[in-house]
A and B are shown apart, each in its own frame.
Chain A
Amino acid sequence: MGRYIARRLIQVPLVLVVVSLMTFLITRATPGDPVQIMLGMQTSKEAAEAMRKEFNLDRSLPEQYVLWLGKVVSGDLGRSIRLNDPVTTLLAERLPVSLQLAAAGMAFALLVSIPLGVAAALRRNSWIDYLCTGYTVAGFAIPNFGLALILIYVFSIRLDWLPITGIGTAEQLSGGVWTYVKPFIIPAIALGTLQTAILTRLLRSSMIDVLSQDYMRTARAKGLMPATVVVVHALKNAMIPFVTMAAIQFGYMIGIQVTIEYIFAVPGMGSAVLNAVVNRDFPVIQGFTLVIAAFFLFANILADLLYALLDPRIRY
């Protein structure tokens, strides 16, 4: 086990180097000069040269990459060309917001998928099972921004129950629990619906699988309460693939928030990358993609570890 974790952790920096090299090459191979975008057309040659020198853009490509990589190892992601702030400062602003939004989406997915998946598996071919199938099929087909617009229309415009902005603002963080939670509700549902569909379908099928096992009959035969049988014997076993999938999906969630951030004006990672791409802000693009990729990799390792932890049969 320890050796397995060590091997997986050693691979992380290797994959990150490949990812950062790819990002580097893509940004440098495509048209668009950050200095020109920043300074405008009328700028003097000297000013542009000075700026190029400041950001090492006057050096050869291999030199640029190696210099960047060398700084990253010591925790320095460089400075934004556009905003002139260190990329780490930007990250410290954006990452918490994105994590909160991802957590909110995941919380919604878990709150819905566990009861729905279990109920559908226990009462197959009942109305709740059809509801579950309908929800998952629709959840796979609706784009999250379309769902977001529908929810805004119904719950903020027609019913006027929920706000559509306010994530990441000072008022939200300083107010009470409800002030904090309220702006998250619609974005969380819009963001988490695809994950809910994936997780519900998975839990339903793994529950059905577990319910047909011999030990379930034994548990019932020795007179355990039906609730105990379902929760302790069935759900616990059915949760193994579920928890793994939830961890993997959580790793995805930071990267798929872009459209949601765009609609709800959330100052998250996705919109920062969007702006950086438009302005060719190379250090920001490289730093942010690196963090997003690292987050994804660690979520995957976590998924594997949870799998081994929950299922004693698995040995790495």
Chain B
Amino acid sequence: MSTASPSPAAPYRIPSSLALAARQFPRHRLALVGFVCLLAICLAAALAPWVAPYDPVQIKLGSKLKPPSWEHWLGTDHFGRDVFSRLIWGGRTSLSVGALVVAFAFTIGVPLGLASGYFGGRVDNLLMRLVDAFLTFPPLLLAVALVGLLGPDIQNVMLAIGLVQAPILARVVRGSTLAVREDVYVTAARALGARPTRIVLSHILRNVMSPIVVQLTVVFAAAVIAEASLSFLGFGTQPPQPSWGRDMSEARRFLADAPWMFMAPTGIIMLCVLSINFLGDGLRDALDPRAWRTRRRLADGEG
């Protein structure tokens, strides 16, 4: 229930921080645009069988390498397959890898980061050195190596990218945990005799949730690009399944004859990542009460 306009009789209720953030979010116009674009891409991918005008894998050699037209909005590829339909179906892979990586990074990274930040000492030292070791591998090369060794399969792609992203998230969570660990409410909870698990789960986690949410948008964007890169190198989705990265790799052979073949996937990846980044910026502002005040002050001062 919204408490935006309480009737005079109703007692005033303090809106929850989530409700406040939800009200704040649409003020960031680019973030709203990003959210709408991302939602549209997700819906199109989810409803691919109904939205895509053509079968993404059916070969029609009679209409190969056709430029964009009313029939084929983004042209056709070297097998006469509709590029637009392949984009829509390809979104399924990219977005589901993105979502799975986010879930994986969250399940691994958040507990590790919380434990490292809250308990400190030897646990912290051990975990962070492990994170350091992971971060000395170049992310893409590590993912390529893992997928190459495990076999090109969507679960392995997800696992490889997730293993790269989870340590980064763990480090962010650790930093934020360190910052709130000594806050008064944590000391108060400890003084009241709360057990560490309770302190971490119900006091600290709530207060480090906003950097986590923002970092998860970064993870999602990184996962989309990483999946495309892996598929581009031949280590991800295998043909004839549609995939943004794989289709770009195929398009290399037809750069001169069919530039739409590489431009369409490049464009959709950019749109997707831009949307996620704007969404992340908006969330960062909406979840940080200090940013609201600054913005209002700026608006008052300049407006």
Contacts and interface: CB of A to CB of B under 8 A. Distances in A.
A153 B150 contact: no
Interface string A265-299: 00000100110011010000100010011001100
A31 B152 CA distance: 12
B136 A293 contact: yes
Given A15-B133, A18-B130, A152-B255, A142 B266 contact: yes
Nearest to A146: B266
B144 A273 contact: yes
Contact of B233 (A138, A259, A293): A259
A296 B270 contact: no
B38 interface: no
Given A150-B263, A153-B259, A252-B138, A26 B145 contact: yes
Given A15-B132, A146-B265, A259 B137 contact: no
Nearest to B138: A255
A27 interface: yes
Interface in B113-167: 129-130, 132-134, 136-141, 144-146, 148-151
Interface in B1-20: none
Given A18-B133, A137-B274, A141-B273, A296 B138 contact: yes
B145 A273 contact: yes
A263 interface: yes
Majority secondary structure of chain A interface residues (helix, strand, loop or mixed): helix
A255 B132 CA distance: 16
Interface in B216-267: 221, 225, 228-229, 232-233, 245, 248, 251-252, 255-256, 259, 262-263, 265-266
A141 B256 contact: no
Contacts of A256: 138-141
A141 B134 CA distance: 24
B215 interface: no
Pick from B129, B134, B245, B262 the residue with the most CB of A within 10 Å: B262
B93 interface: no
A31 B132 contact: no
Interface of B, secondary structure class, is helix
Interface in A125-166: 137-138, 140-143, 145-147, 149-150, 152-153, 157
A296 B136 contact: yes
A262 B129 CA distance: 32
A153 B129 contact: no
B244 to A, nearest CB: 9
A34 B233 CA distance: 21
A273 to B, nearest CB: 6
Contact of B266 (A149, A273, A280, A289): A149
B277 interface: yes
Contact of A274 (B144, B150, B221, B255): B144
B129 A15 contact: yes
Nearest to B265: A146
B269 interface: yes
Contacts of A15: 129, 132-133, 136
A157 B233 contact: no
Contacts of B274: 137-138, 141
Contacts of A149: 248, 251-252, 255, 262, 266
B30 to A, nearest CB: 9
A255 B138 CA distance: 5
Contacts of A297: 136
A146 B148 contact: no
A157 B148 contact: no
A22 interface: yes
B129 A18 contact: yes
Given A146-B262, A146-B265, A146-B269, A30 B129 contact: no
A32 B149 CA distance: 7
Given A143-B225, A255-B141, A296-B138, A30 B273 contact: no
B229 A277 contact: no
10 contacts: A19-B136, A19-B137, A141-B277, A143-B228, A146-B265, A150-B262, A157-B255, A262-B232, A277-B148, A292-B141
Which 3 pairs of residues, A with B, have the shortest CB-CB distance? A255-B138, A277-B148, A146-B266
Interface of A: 15, 18-19, 22, 26-27, 30-32, 137-138, 140-143, 145-147, 149-150, 152-153, 157, 252, 254-256, 258-259, 262-263, 270, 273-274, 277-278, 280, 285, 289, 292-293, 296-297
Interface of B: 129-130, 132-134, 136-141, 144-146, 148-151, 221, 225, 228-229, 232-233, 245, 248, 251-252, 255-256, 259, 262-263, 265-266, 269-270, 273-274, 277
